[in-house]
Amino acid sequence: MLLQQLVNGLMLGSAYALIAIGYTLVFGVLKLVHLAHGEVFMVGAFVGLQIVLWFGVGAGVALLGALVGTALLGMVIELVAFRPLRARGAHFLAPMISTIGVGIVLQEVATKVFGAEQVGFPHRMEAVTFHLGPVTVTSVQLLILGTSVVLMAALHVFVTRTALGMAMRATAESLLTARLLGIKTNGIILLTFAIASGLGGAAGVLIGLSFNAISPFMGIDIGVKGLAIMLVGGLGNIYGAMAGGLILGIIEILSVAYLASSYRDAFAFALMILILLFRPQGLFGSAYHVEG
């Protein structure tokens, strides 16, 4: 049973990792804690669901649609809620408060449009179950794992091998210097928001598919977890976010399996504090920039 529990943890963890990457990207480039990221994730789940309901398409199209939809949403958020603040040289806490506001607005709008009830994808999209010896995995779990790995690999290639990725790293290193060197930093920031939000939206669809529990409030808990993972993994480090997500997922599952569900979050977060005590910079943390 331990093997199955580890698989359960791996699946939960890879979904967490996708969210944490969004946080870490925005933080890496802007040194900004994007507190509305959980809500972007929630919007992604709803966009995917609506696409499925309207057009009767499969998970792949829903995933793509949500990715594009939330990427656009991310750009709107940056243009409306951050750029004006940056342009006016606001206090460094102001954008964070602004993200809280964006989060509340998104939550309320979703509640108005979709209702406060928990909903799920149609049952025809039910996962196919594979029994591999003692271990059971579903097609949705494999999709989560696969999508996470592909997206993370693509991100790695983008950040390390392309000119745009290099520009993003330069912007993360120093906004001012990057601009002096001729990088259009505003465009890079916009791109960062688009990528981070798109990943969050994709995670929303994957988690919605996997757990059948889409609601306007689904971003709250998972948002907090994403933040914690970002810290444990190392601020701004993509691999840290991935490792941190997997660690949190596995710890949570094991604490349910061998302790009790009441301790699920308490135990997981206590362990994260412990990790931070020994490695205050996080597992992979070294510097304040997006690392390839």
Partner 1 sequence: MRRATAIVLAAALLVTAATAAAEVRIGVLMPLSGKGAAYGIHQEVAMKMALEELEKSHIKGETVKLIAYDSRGDNTEAINLTRKLIHTDRVLAIIGPFFSAECEVAFPIAVQGKTPIITASSAKPGVAAKSRPWAFRNALTSDKLNGPLVDKWLAGNKGQIKTVVILTDVKDAFTKADGTLVFPAVLKAKGITVLDNISFQTGDIDFSAQVTKVKGLNPDGIVVAGLYNEGGNVVREIRKQGLPQPIAGALGMSEPRFVEIAGPAAEGVLVVNPFWPDNPAPRIKKWVDEYKRRANAPPSNTAALMYDSLHIMKGCIEQAGVTNKPDDLGKDRERIRECWAGLKDSPGITGTISINADGDAVLEPTVLVIRNGRYESLR
Reported as type and span, the H/E element at residue 62 is helix 59-77
User: Could you say which of 81, 110, 206, 253 contacts partner 1 (CB under 8 A)?
Assistant: 253
Interface with partner 1, residue 211, by CB under 8 A? yes
Q: Does 115 bind partner 1 (CB under 8 A)?
A: yes
286 near partner 1 (CB under 8 A): no
Is 5 a residue that touches partner 1 (CB under 8 A)?
yes
Round to whole Å and give the CA distance between 209 and 289: 33
What letter represents residue 94's amino acid? Answer: A
DSSP for 148-211? HHHHHHHHHHHHHHSHHHHHHHHHHH-HHHHHHTT--HHHHHHHHHHHHHHHHHHHHHHHHHHH
Residue 53 near partner 1 by CB under 8 A? no
| Rounded Cα–Cα distance for residues 38 and 225 (Å) | 9
Q: b/e per residue, 164-176, with b = 16+ CB within 10 A?
A: ebebbbbbbeebe
Should residue 221 be labelled a site residue for partner 1 when binding is judged by CB under 8 A?
Answer: yes
- Give the shortest CB-86-to-partner 1 separation in angstroms: 36
Closer residue to partner 1, CB minimum distance, 120 or 292? 120
In this chain, which of 138, 166, 269, 275 binds partner 1, going by CB under 8 A?
A: 138
Our CA angle for 145, 150, 155, nearest 5°, is 125
Binding status of residue 132 toward partner 1 by CB under 8 A? no
d(CA 38, CA 258): 29
CB of 120 to partner 1, least distance (A): 6
For the chain, the first-to-last Cα distance in angstroms comes to: 37
- Judged by CB under 8 A, the residue of 104, 136, 270, 286 near partner 1 is 136
Query: 33 vs 137, which CB is nearer to partner 1?
Result: 137
Instruction: Give 138's strand partners.
Output: 129
Q: Is residue 276 near partner 1 by the rule CB under 8 A?
A: no
Instruction: Please report whether residue 264 would count as binding partner 1 according to CB under 8 A.
Output: yes
Contacts to partner 1 by CB under 8 A: 1, 4-5, 8-9, 11-12, 111, 115-118, 120, 123, 126-127, 129, 131, 136, 138, 207, 211-213, 218, 221, 252-254, 256-257, 260-262, 264
